[in-house]
Amino acid sequence: MIAPIAAAETRAKLPFYRHLYVQVLTAIAAGILLGHFYPQLGTSLQPLGDAFIKLVRMVIAPVIFLTVTTGIAGMSDLKKFGRVVGKAFIYFLTFSTLALIVGLIVSNVVQPGAGMHIDPATLDTKAVNNYAAQAHDASVVGFLMNIIPDTIVGAFAKGDILQVLFFSVVFGIALGAAGERGRPVTDFLQALTTPIFRMVALLMKFAPIGAFGAMAFTIGKYGIGTIANLAFLIGTFYATSLFFVLVVLGAVARYNGFSILALIRYIKEELLLVLGTSSSEAALPGLMNKMERAGCKRSVVGLVIPTGYSFNLDGTNIYMTLAALFIAQATDTPLALGDQILLLLVAMLSSKGAAGITGAGFITLAATLAVVPSVPIAGMALILGIDRFMSECRALTNFVGNAVATIVVARWENELDQTKFAAAMAGQLSEEIEAPALQAAE
């Protein structure tokens, strides 16, 4: 009990400005001010945000590989692996569909695009064409085929989350089946976890710089004034997402014995990082580490979070139905109930695979509208200018949704350490990022 008490005392004496979330929040505010008053300078700082995201992406593949492989290899029963995957996908399908329905209902009730009376023929679609071309190349079969990497090295070289996850699952199963002969490899990978997570901790020191650069670029390029004309749509989307997180996911959390607000407090550093960079991918390693430290079994964390980044995108789903109906309302395009149901079904498929990368939600919206001819795809030009601001809310909602999913699936599988989890929700864990292996050793 000496180590935890010492850690608690150290945390209590830590000055407020040393906390990562304070540094990131300050950096975001500074970025907004710089971008607003010196837009040209703010736009030039884009490399700071891009460089930080590249730094984090550099370690995502190793983190996923080590977490998933060692987690599966340590399973004594591979049937358990099948149960975890099955329950995760049941959860993903249920709440992704619910998010689409919520967006659809809010669009019909609030009608944010009503009264604009815009003729689609008058819109400049040049900026949208690039997104439409990317959406045209996407298909369900192509997406599924792309999960299988051409080569092992290629999966890690491209940094494709699903390809790395696919290889990690297969290798973990093979390693577990090898028994004692595979033990040296398992021990080596578990030992390798320590320096990799230390590397993550080192990279997180640069998070305030990345958030500052990304926010300065966003405000400098698009301007705060860009939001004004379409503020009602942005406000509706943010309010709907907040409702989904606090009420829908809050009810799920309460049913499973924890508070959604306590969870948000626990992952506040990662949420602020997502807010600053508009990418949930930037906080993926930190989320995986925190979920494991909160008592979720490594095998569950390694499977649910990376998979959820492509299949459990609550914020993206809300955005797609809300934005699609906004375009229809703004262009006076009538949508019958059958058209809206078709839109929802298409969105259920097209939303899968939109990983936590800035702009992915806009591409999937283009893919959805391309299949539903009732809504003019040219109408996407209306929201292109504000998509960056909506991207932040999509990423935040997706992020919280995947954190909740991990805890729920771990609880379903009896793979949640209630003592650790209670301490995490009460804010009694150290804020430093530690390798899980070290934590276990302590």
Asked if 369 and 380 count as a contact pair (C-beta separation under 8 A), the reply is: yes
> Residue 90's pLDDT is what?
92
> Residue 441's pLDDT is what?
35
> Residue 385's pLDDT is what?
64
> Residue 242's pLDDT is what?
95
Q: Which of 358, 124, 343 is nearest to 221 (CA)?
A: 358
Asked if 258 and 11 count as a contact pair (C-beta separation under 8 A), the reply is: no
Cα atoms in the 13 Å half-sphere on the side-chain side of 27: 29
> Residue 405's pLDDT is what?
95
Kind and range of the H or E run holding 69: helix 46-73
Kind and range of the H or E run holding 428: none
Q: What is the DSSP letter of 334?
A: -
> Residue 139's pLDDT is what?
53
Beta bridge partners of 296: 416
Contacts of 107 (CB under 8 A, 6+ apart): 321, 322, 324, 325, 326, 329
Distance, in Å, from the CA atom of 120 to the CA atom of 85, rounded to the nearest integer, reads: 44
Distance, in Å, from the CA atom of 60 to the CA atom of 78, rounded to the nearest integer, reads: 25
Task: Quote the pTM value.
Answer: 0.74
Q: What is the DSSP letter of 258?
A: S
Token pair 């999960």: residue: 147
Tell me the residue type at 290: K
Asked if 291 and 407 count as a contact pair (C-beta separation under 8 A), the reply is: yes
Contacts of 358 (CB under 8 A, 6+ apart): 277, 278, 279, 388, 391, 395
Distance, in Å, from the CA atom of 241 to the CA atom of 400, rounded to the nearest integer, reads: 11
> Residue 309's pLDDT is what?
81
Distance, in Å, from the CA atom of 182 to the CA atom of 186, rounded to the nearest integer, reads: 6
> Residue 359's pLDDT is what?
52
Boundaries of every domain in the chain: 2-441
In CATH, 2-441 is 1.10.3860.10 = yes
From first to last of its 442 residues, what are the pLDDT tens digits of the chain?
334 444 444 444 567 677 777 888 888 889 889 988 988 998 899 888 888 878 887 888 888 888 878 877 776 666 777 888 889 889 998 998 999 999 999 999 988 888 777 777 666 555 555 555 555 455 556 666 777 888 888 888 877 777 888 888 889 888 888 888 888 998 898 889 888 888 888 888 888 898 898 888 878 876 766 555 567 888 899 999 999 999 999 999 999 999 999 999 999 989 988 888 777 777 888 898 899 999 998 888 888 888 888 788 898 889 888 988 888 888 888 888 888 888 888 777 666 655 444 455 666 777 677 666 777 777 777 776 677 778 888 889 999 999 999 999 999 989 899 999 999 998 877 655 444 443 433 3
> Residue 356's pLDDT is what?
42
Cα atoms in the 13 Å half-sphere on the side-chain side of 207: 30
Contacts of 288 (CB under 8 A, 6+ apart): 63, 64, 67, 301, 302, 305
Distance, in Å, from the CA atom of 387 to the CA atom of 394, rounded to the nearest integer, reads: 10
- For 239, the token pair is 């309010």
Distance, in Å, from the CA atom of 401 to the CA atom of 253, rounded to the nearest integer, reads: 11
> Residue 119's pLDDT is what?
74
> Residue 134's pLDDT is what?
52
Q: Which of 328, 360, 368 is nearest to 344 (CA)?
A: 368
Helix and strand counts by DSSP (H, E) for the chain = 24, 0
Distance, in Å, from the CA atom of 235 to the CA atom of 395, rounded to the nearest integer, reads: 16
Contacts of 279 (CB under 8 A, 6+ apart): 53, 356, 357, 358, 395
